[in-house]
Amino acid sequence: MRGQATWTALPVALLVWVGLAPPAHAQDIVTDLAQHYAPVVVVREHPVPCSDGEPFLPTTVEAVLGRPDVTLRGPAGEQIPAPTASDLANRGDGWYLDFPGDPLDPGCGYEQWFDSLAGQASPTVYAHVATDPDHPGTLALQYWFWWVYNDWNDRHEGDWEMIQLLFDAATPAEALARGPTSVAFAQHEGSETSSWSDQKLLRVDDHVVVYPGQGSHAAYFTQARWFGKSAAAGFGCDETEPLGAELRPAVVVLPEKPTAGFEWLSFTGRWGEKAPSFNNGPTGPNTKEQWAHPVTWQVEQGREGAVSLPTIGGPAADSFCDLTRSGSLLFIALLDQPVLVALALVALVLLAVLLVRGTRWRHGGDTQPDRERRAGQVVSASFGLLFGHLRVLWPILLVVGLSTAGALGLQQLALRSRPSGDITDVNGLTDSAVGVILAVLVAFALAPAVAIALSATCRVVEGIARDHRISGWSSIALAARRPSGALVQLVLLVTVSLLASSLVGLPVALLLIALWAVAMPAAVIEHLGVIGSLRRSTRLTKGRRWRAVFLSALLVWIGFSLPGVIGGLMLLVTGWPFWLTNLAAIVVGAVLLPFSAIGLTLQYYDFRQEERRDAAPDSA
């Protein structure tokens, strides 16, 4: 009887075991599903520490937990050093993790700290299977990326980003058998969606390829420079091109409920230090709408595409990116050091007021070039000469506009996207050495046309001063036959631009502006060569160099930078397409570049009049 009972109990035990087995089997299915579609992540290369590129990688939560330099802080001033996952369990509002460093003034500290995490910081992604009670019959497979720092137009410790795949399936097994129907990539406060068969979705087999924006880590479908001016799309320009490094992160499947080692799933505090405004540390995945309502989130917040900028963006697009980044960094600096930054801004305003009030602007309607003028009179008289002689100057404006537009169009054509089979260089830019060389050659080839036009402007002003009027076309032809003025202009532009591109070279660039401020008009009016005109300018500016550097820098900024700023502001406040705002910036530049040349010429005449006046007593 005992043996019979044993054989009778065995099937019962097997049934019990089989009844308990499905959860473990189901977990294996989830793991298989997560591994099958695990993303390939392509981050911008970062070959030199503390320089351009993406210094961080998506990593594990455990990399920052249990460390003595990390503290969990509470709403009542509680401090838990080296917090573990269990220390985070069920902590809510007011609690936050504090990493070493100042999120508003990071320097290179967070990058160096991340590097010190060493082996604990291996690339990792967290997989989460979710369903939506409002959309039964649809299953979401989410991949969550944890980054230790966000370094973009907003700056904060900790950064959670994600993508998800939707399946017309009720279970992971069905999902694995049927395949995805659509995907959504989280981008700032919104998302971009696509169908599984959409050509913009790049895949390696069934592994989706994700391109995180440098610093922001917003997930994009390909390599580009991305444009946004809203909370959903981000405010500024995200970079995911040109060079990338391919990562195959390890996949960690998250349990449905917090378990040992995953107690942090119940943490609803902040995964980074508290900071003002949008620089606060973020809350975790379990607080996001898509955690419990993935389909609703994708339907309501998803958009079909993101807006990419051309590789050569043009004056308006490039200025928009610069303006939004500079404005954001200024705002962050104001939050970090409000008194110091406010004092600096007040000082700049006072300096501008003093400079404006310290000169005379009215010129009494006298547009005779060869006379002494105050700095303000040079500016106002330049506008008077420009608009008073448009019938003569219009060919020069046309040459400047067409040269600038032609250079932009040819550069965009030379560096247009060329699909590549390499997911780290989708547009084939690194392989397109010919395109890069062509773009550079185009810039150098058409720059002389602009320089000739500016030299021709100086010749028109000289004709007005001598009461010997010369037409715009004739001045262009003469400037081309006698190119010393254009050559001086090119030397100045190239030298000063290269030096001013770095903080180390900026003082030298300002010194050269002070010395060579009137070299171009000296070359044209006094028929000097390049070296002779540089020496002549050095003599004319002696004793007047502070004025020369301020006025020349202002004139050059108005001519070369203000058009792009105007175009960038147009992008900000209008819905105009890039080509139209770039066209507007080019038209404004076609007017302001000759204005700049007129101003430099009037400054030359002023300095020459002062030189003669100073020499008069000696002559007597």
Tell whether the model's pLDDT for residue 2 goes beyond 50: no
Tell me, what's the pLDDT at 427?
76
Say if residue 491 is in the same domain as residue 523.
yes
Averaged over 301-307, what is the pLDDT? 93
Say if residue 302 is in the same domain as residue 354.
no
pLDDT in tens, 312-326: 889 999 999 999 999
Characterize the bridge pairing of strands 207-212 and 203-204: antiparallel
> Distance between CA atoms of 128 and 227, rounded to whole angstroms?
30
Mind spelling out the 3-state secondary structure of 19-82? HHHHHHHHHHHHHHHHHHCCCEEEEECCCCCCCCCCCCCCECHHHCCCCCCCEEECCCCCEEEC
Assess if residue 231 is contained within a domain. Answer: no
Tell me, what's the pLDDT at 266?
95
Averaged over 276-290, what is the pLDDT? 94
Q: Is the CB of residue 164 less than 8 Å from the CB of residue 142?
A: yes
Tell me, what's the pLDDT at 10?
43
Q: Label residue 600 by pLDDT band (50, 70, 90).
A: very high
Find the range with the poorest average confidence among 14-18, 78-82, 276-280, 281-285: 14-18
CA torsion angle for 385, 386, 388, 390 (degrees, to 10)? Answer: 140
* Residue 167: closest CA among 46, 53, 33: 33
Tell me, what's the pLDDT at 617?
62
Assess if residue 218 is contained within a domain. Answer: no
* Residue 525: closest CA among 606, 615, 617: 606
pLDDT in tens, 41-64: 999 999 899 999 999 999 999 999
> Distance between CA atoms of 334 and 336, rounded to whole angstroms?
5
> Distance between CA atoms of 227 and 151, rounded to whole angstroms?
17
Averaged over 103-113, what is the pLDDT? 95
Tell me, what's the pLDDT at 338?
93
Q: What are phi and psi of 575, to 5 degrees?
A: -105, 20
How many C-beta neighbours within 10 Å does residue 197 have?
9
Tell me, what's the pLDDT at 12?
41
Say if residue 326 is in the same domain as residue 444.
yes
3-state secondary structure of 225: strand
Say if residue 400 is in the same domain as residue 522.
yes
Assess if residue 582 is contained within a domain. Answer: yes
Tell me, what's the pLDDT at 438?
65
Assess if residue 10 is contained within a domain. Answer: no
Tell me, what's the pLDDT at 445?
67
Averaged over 209-230, what is the pLDDT? 95
Say if residue 271 is in the same domain as residue 319.
no
Say if residue 287 is in the same domain as residue 351.
no
For the chain, the domain total comes to: 2
pLDDT in tens, 490-523: 888 888 888 887 888 889 988 999 999 999 999 9
Tell me, what's the pLDDT at 364?
55
* Residue 598: closest CA among 401, 393, 403, 398: 393
Say if residue 269 is in the same domain as residue 371.
no
Tell whether the model's pLDDT for residue 336 goes beyond 50: yes
pLDDT in tens, 431-444: 555 666 666 666 66
pLDDT in tens, 533-592: 999 999 999 999 999 999 999 999 999 999 999 999 999 999 899 999 999 999 999 999
pLDDT in tens, 170-202: 999 999 999 999 999 999 999 999 999 999 999
Tell whether the model's pLDDT for residue 24 goes beyond 80: no
Q: Label residue 7 by pLDDT band (50, 70, 90).
A: very low
Averaged over 20-41, what is the pLDDT? 81
Say if residue 255 is in the same domain as residue 338.
no
* Residue 73: closest CA among 85, 87, 62: 87
Averaged over 266-287, what is the pLDDT? 94
Quote the pTM value.
0.88
Tell whether the model's pLDDT for residue 365 goes beyond 80: no
Please tell me what DSSP assigns to residue 607. Answer: H
Characterize the bridge pairing of strands 71-73 and 79-81: antiparallel
Tell me, what's the pLDDT at 13?
43
Tell me, what's the pLDDT at 615?
81
Q: Helix-strand-coil percent breakdown of the chain, rounded to 5?
A: 50, 15, 30
Assess if residue 398 is contained within a domain. Answer: yes
Say if residue 98 is in the same domain as residue 166.
yes
Question: Could you tell me the two tokens for 502?
Answer: 């770095």
| Percent of the chain's residues with pLDDT above 90 | 70
Please report, as a single letter, which amino acid is at residue 601: T
Averaged over 83-88, what is the pLDDT? 96
Any idea which residue has 């401090």 for tokens?
A: 79
Say if residue 196 is in the same domain as residue 167.
yes
Averaged over 367-389, what is the pLDDT? 91
Assess if residue 216 is contained within a domain. Answer: no
Sign of the Cα torsion 207, 307, 290, 103 reads positive
Say if residue 343 is in the same domain as residue 285.
no
3-state secondary structure of 458: helix
Angstrom CA distances, 515 to 200, 315, 507, 550, stand at 53, 29, 12, 12
Tell whether the model's pLDDT for residue 250 goes beyond 70: yes
Assess if residue 217 is contained within a domain. Answer: no
Please report, as a single letter, which amino acid is at residue 165: L
Any idea which residue has 């960094």 for tokens?
A: 329
> Distance between CA atoms of 428 and 418, rounded to whole angstroms?
5
Cis peptide upstream of residue 58 (ω within 30 degrees of 0): no
Residue 321 host element (H or E): helix 315-336
Tell me, what's the pLDDT at 566?
96
Structural domain harbouring 202? 25-38+57-210+251-309
Domain boundary residue among 309, 344, 359?
309
Sign of the Cα torsion 562, 565, 571, 577 reads positive
Tell me, what's the pLDDT at 426?
83
Find the range with the poorest average confidence among 2-11, 342-351, 452-461: 2-11
Say if residue 174 is in the same domain as residue 320.
no
* Residue 57: closest CA among 176, 162, 146, 183: 146
Adjacent-strand bridge partners of 235:
229
Tell me, what's the pLDDT at 414?
74
> How high does pLDDT run on average in the chain?
89
Q: Label residue 425 by pLDDT band (50, 70, 90).
A: confident
Adjacent-strand bridge partners of 227:
237, 307
How many C-beta neighbours within 10 Å does residue 291 have?
18
How many C-beta neighbours within 10 Å does residue 561 have?
15
Question: Could you tell me the two tokens for 318?
Answer: 């490039």
In which order are the strands placed within the sheet that holds 234-239?
Answer: 234-239, 225-230, 307-309
Q: Label residue 417 by pLDDT band (50, 70, 90).
A: low
Domain boundary residue among 309, 344, 377?
309
Assess if residue 17 is contained within a domain. Answer: no
Report how far Cα 252 is from the mean position of its chain's Cα atoms. Answer: 32
